Every structure is written in structure tokens, then in C-alpha cells.
Amino acid sequence: MTSIAYLGPAGTNAETVALAYASWLTQIGQEAQLCPYPSIAQAIKATAQKETDLAVVPVENSIEGSVAMTLDTIWQLDGLQIQQALVLSISHALLSRAASLGEIKTVSSHPQALAQCQDWLQKHLPAARLIPANSTTEVLKHLDADRTLGSISSPRAAQLYNLPILADSIGDYPDNCTRFWVVGLQPSPGGTHTSLAFSVPANAPGALVEPLQVFASRGINLSRIESRPTKRSLGDYLFFLDLEADARQEDIRLAIEELTTHTETIKIFGSYEILNIR
């Protein structure tokens, strides 16, 4: 039985992706069990501490960019390897027991969902209080008791919790999608993309140019670069990179070997394939 941690409760986009991955495991003869956790960090730590075999966590949204909690937590922990990347199309709806938008005084959801619907909220609910929650489904249990409360969640969540959709397709951009990583302690399987992160010895001229030149000189394309504070001091950063290549290739292996001479700490999160979920 393969246990899979994800951001719960039931009905989140993370659960949708976890279910899709569990279905794939079933097709290859492996049984899977889904294990909801109240935060992304707790889901990742559950796998790092061997409470679960895998964790499915969001890493990047096409509108709001990288998910800081995922990047920060994976950097802080050792041994985690990406097994697969899955891209999910995101559809947002406003769920509420209110009879009309005019009754809504408060909207609560995950900060990413609120941010991805901010133009719609400003236009249709400009006076509503926006309250962040741990997930897009955390607040749904309170809707029956408060008709002035609305929550941004998925149409699937509306079905699961038997809640009415007051407004559908409220996302600000129609092609909204989120990339998820499936992480575990097993070696990465290899694939078309490689993810890594590193910190530099000092905040000095050329500190970032030299590591990036390692890839440029070999014609290795970077599909993403993201900086995150090290949390040691202001202006001190670490960098997350996605390479369009497999770390098992000789030129990538040599590039990573050279990269170690220009960095303070480097972590290779593995190589993997990217699949779309519809």
C-alpha cells in the first residue's frame, strides 16, 4: 500500500492530483491510500519523516507564481526526490448558502485562490472581507451556519459537500493551471526536467552569474529560476532552478559537478516527467 500525503481536507486541488496519481499507481498494480494533512508543510514533512510514502504538493501557479511554502520546506528537509510533476487546470467557483451576492460579507479561502480571483472579487464583492484559510475547502463546513459567508473552491468540492455554486468560473484568467510535485524518499526516476536549488557563498558581484554561466556555456536551457530568502539575513538568497534535461546525462552531470565550485550548498531534487491532468 502506497500512502500519499496531500493538503486536505477532501475536495482540494491537491486531492484531485493525488487521486489522479493514485489511479495511475493502481493501473500498474500498486494500491494507494490518500492521507490528508492541514498544511502543505505538514504533508511534505510526513513524507520526509516516513509517515507516508509520498506527498503531492503544489509548486507553481501560472498566475501567482511559485508556492513559497513548498519551496522553503523542501529546501529545509533532506532526502526528498521528485517522482513526477503533474499539471492541473484550475477552476474557481464561489460557494455559499447566500441567496445572492449582495448577502456576502466575507469570503474565505486559500491565499492562492483569493489572489487568483482578486479582479472578480473587486468587481463583484468590493466590500467583502477576504480571510485566508489553510485550504480551499477548510471553510466549507461553516457555510451552512452562516449565509453571509462565501468560499472560493472547486466545482468538485461543491459536489462533495453538497453546496450550491453562487458564481462559477470566477478566476481572473481562463488558462489558470498549477504544477504539482510528487515527492518521496526514493531516487528520482529520471525524465525531461531536473530541479535543483543552491545558495551562494556571499552576496557579491557575479555570485549568481557564475553558477548560471555553467549551464549557458553548455547550452542547457533553464525553464524556471526562482529566488527565496535564506532567512539568515536581509538580501541573502537561495535559488531554485528547473533544467530542461535529465541529470543522468553526461553534460548535466558535469555541469552540476562544476556548479558545486560556485555555490555554498546545493541540493538536487531529481529528474522527472511532466504530465497534464484535465
Query: What does the pLDDT profile of the chain (278 residues) look like in tens digits?
Result: 999 999 999 999 999 999 999 998 898 889 999 999 999 999 999 999 999 999 999 999 998 899 999 999 999 999 999 999 999 999 999 999 999 999 999 999 999 999 999 999 999 999 999 999 999 999 999 999 999 999 999 999 999 999 999 999 999 998 999 999 999 999 999 999 999 999 988 766 667 888 889 999 999 999 999 999 888 877 778 899 999 999 999 989 999 999 999 889 999 999 999 999 86
> Domain range holding 13?
2-90+176-184
Same domain, 9 and 75: yes
> Residue 114 is part of a domain; what is its CATH number?
3.40.190.10
Are 61 and 178 contacting, i.e. CB atoms less than 8 angstroms apart? yes
Same domain, 109 and 240: no
Same domain, 23 and 148: no
| Cβ-based burial of 111 (10 A; exposed 0-12, middle 13-18, buried ≥19) | middle
| Cβ-based burial of 48 (10 A; exposed 0-12, middle 13-18, buried ≥19) | buried
Same domain, 76 and 214: no
Any domain includes 159: yes
Same domain, 84 and 121: no
Any domain includes 278: no
pTM of the model: 0.89
Looking at the structure of the chain, the number of domains it has is 3
Any domain includes 118: yes
Same domain, 97 and 59: no
Any domain includes 277: no
Are 36 and 8 contacting, i.e. CB atoms less than 8 angstroms apart? yes
Same domain, 197 and 264: yes
* CA 47/CA 17 separation, integer angstroms: 17
